[in-house]
Amino acid sequence: MLGLEFEVRRQPEGLRRLVLTNSLADMRMWNASTGELSKAFPDDVQKGLTVGVTDMEAYGKALRMFHKKHGCLVDPWPEELVYSMNQSISPSADISVAVGMFTGELRTWSIIDRLDRVRVPTFVINGRADIAQDFVVEPLFRGIRQVKRVTMEKSSHTPMWEERERYMDLINGFLST
């Protein structure tokens, strides 16, 4: 989101390439994907995701279950991911960003109608089990003029951990051309 907005609004001179890993072009599509994927979970997980931050214990448990299937398939999770997850769902967490994504200005964010302003070659990556399902990244592929797209077959939302070697090879190849 930030990389796209930065390119579209500022069009920085030095930017030569843009990599969008597990990204989105429209928040409503992201929310639709999350809703669709959550339907495959047991009722208690669905309920925990629905109550959100109003019940941090239920939400945290549900979010961990959801992300084990669609956030990071590595078991156990990398330390950095555990730390980040704990920071966002602990009782003392600053939930303003999480809440803002679903109730604030970001809830209707979309860049679909401005994707033609992306001037640089762009690499779009998502994972087969990603929250950013194919229909979520498709507008990026359709709207950006110079675009390459890869779906990482053994990944969810964190291919940099799930398929590290292949991911780094792909990124290196794209940035080196």
pLDDT of residue 92: 79
Instruction: Please count the structural domains in the chain.
Output: 1
pTM of this structure: 0.92
The string of pLDDT tens digits covering residues 125-142 is 999 999 999 999 999 999
pLDDT of residue 147: 98
Q: What is the CATH number of the domain that holds 35?
A: 3.40.50.1820
pLDDT of residue 21: 98
Domain span holding position 42:
2-176
The string of pLDDT tens digits covering residues 66-119 is 999 999 999 999 999 999 998 888 877 777 777 777 777 788 999 999 999 999
List, as one string, the DSSP characters of the chain. -HHHHHHHHH--TT---EEEES--SBHHHHHHHHHHHHTTS-HHHHHHHHHGGGGHHHHHHHHHHHHHHHT---SSPPHHHHHHHHHHHSTT---HHHHHHHHSGGGG-B-GGGGGG--S-EEEEEETT-SS-HHHHHHHHHH-SSEEEEEETT-SS-HHHHTHHHHHHHHHHHHH-
